[in-house]
Amino acid sequence: MPDPEKEQKSNEEILFEPGSASFEGIHELSVVAEGEERVTWFVWALVACSTISGLLFGQSVHPILVVFNYIF
């Protein structure tokens, strides 16, 4: 059966409880990221720019590799 005393503990009590800390003493419940439940327009703009730049980079590298294969 679950211990009713443990269910009533606050996040601060869980954070400093021995054996409950995860990596480097930070508990999962103490970390809250702002805006992680939605994707903003800024993220979509970064994805679009990186996609286009990746396509352009691939197109510019191909002729160079063809010339290198011809030379060597």
Checking if the pLDDT of 12 tops 80, the result is no
Threshold 0.75, pTM exceeds: no
What integer is the mean pLDDT of 51-59? 93
**CB half-sphere exposure, 6, CA atoms < 13 A:** 5
**Alpha-carbon span 36 to 8, nearest angstrom:** 27
Structure tokens at 23: 């990596």
Q: 53 pLDDT band (50/70/90 cuts)? A: very high
**Alpha-carbon span 68 to 72, nearest angstrom:** 6
Checking if the pLDDT of 66 tops 80, the result is yes
Domains of the chain: which residue ranges?
1-32, 35-72
